[in-house]
Structures are given as structure tokens and as C-alpha cells.
């Protein structure tokens, strides 16, 4: 029962935040500086999300994950060279799995 309440509350919270973002800003004249700012928001957030996977908090201390780091690095290098999203993702994951096997 508690799980259902959690699911419904999370769904409402998530949907409201999405609609508020779309509705509050839709049709409004957005200042060029703010528009420029929004262009860089995804880069900042994705960087933070990736770094949180590379450095995880264990027992209150930051722990470096070489597997995640090298998997991401290889995927990024392949993406830079090939511009092939799928090839880069699969290579990174397979490399990470292989690395785990040896580490």
C-alpha cells in the first residue's frame, strides 16, 4: 500500500515540475542571457551526473571508481573519433565489463 502512495506522490511531483517548466516559460520573451544560460544547463547537469557515478560516496567518503571512469573515457574517445552514439555506448559498457573481470 505504501508503495502505491509513494508511486502516486512521485508521479504527481514529477509531472508538476515538468508542466511548470513548460507552462511558466512558454510564450514568454526569454532574455538572451537566460536563453544562453539554459543552453549550458544540460552540460552542467550531465557533467554532475557523470561525476557522481565516477566518484561515489561510501561511508561518507568519496570513492573513485576506475571501471566507470575508464568506461566513460573510452566511450568519449570513440564518440569523438566516430560520432557513432551506439558504437560508443556499447564499447564503453563492454570495456567496463571486461575491466571488472581483470580488476
Partner 1 sequence: MEKNSIKINRQNSVRAGILDSLPLAIAVFAYGLSYGVMAAQAGFTLLQAVMMSALVFSGSIQLVAVSMIISGIQFMSILLVAFLLNLRNLLYGAALAEGLSQSGRWKWLLATAVSDESLVLGTSHFKKQGPDHIYFAALALTFFLPWILAAWLGFMLGGSINPQTYGLDLAFPVTFMVILVPALADRPGLATCLAGVLVALLMEYVFPKSGLTIIVGGLTAPLIGVYLSKKKLLIEKDPTIISATTLDKEEPIDE
Q: How far is the CB of 62 from partner 1 (least distance, A)?
A: 6
Nearer to partner 1, 53 or 102 (CB): 53
Q: What is the DSSP letter of 27?
A: T
Q: How far is the CB of 102 from partner 1 (least distance, A)?
A: 14
CB proximity list for 85: less than 8 A, separation 6 or greater: 79
Q: How far is the CB of 25 from partner 1 (least distance, A)?
A: 4
Q: Tell me how many degrees the CA angle 57-58-59 measures, rounded to the nearest 5.
A: 120
Amino acid at each position: 500500500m505504501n508503495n502505491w502512495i509513494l508511486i502516486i506522490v512521485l508521479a504527481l511531483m514529477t509531472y508538476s515540475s515538468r508542466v511548470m517548466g513548460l507552462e511558466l516559460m512558454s510564450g514568454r520573451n526569454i532574455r538572451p542571457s537566460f536563453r544562453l544560460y539554459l543552453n549550458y544547463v544540460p552540460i552542467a547537469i550531465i557533467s554532475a551526473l557523470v561525476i557522481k557515478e565516477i566518484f561515489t560516496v561510501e561511508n561518507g567518503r568519496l570513492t573513485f571508481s576506475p571501471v566507470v571512469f575508464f568506461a566513460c573515457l573510452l566511450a568519449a574517445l570513440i564518440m569523438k573519433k566516430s560520432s557513432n552514439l551506439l558504437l560508443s555506448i556499447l564499447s564503453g559498457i563492454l570495456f567496463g565489463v571486461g575491466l571488472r573481470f581483470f580488476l
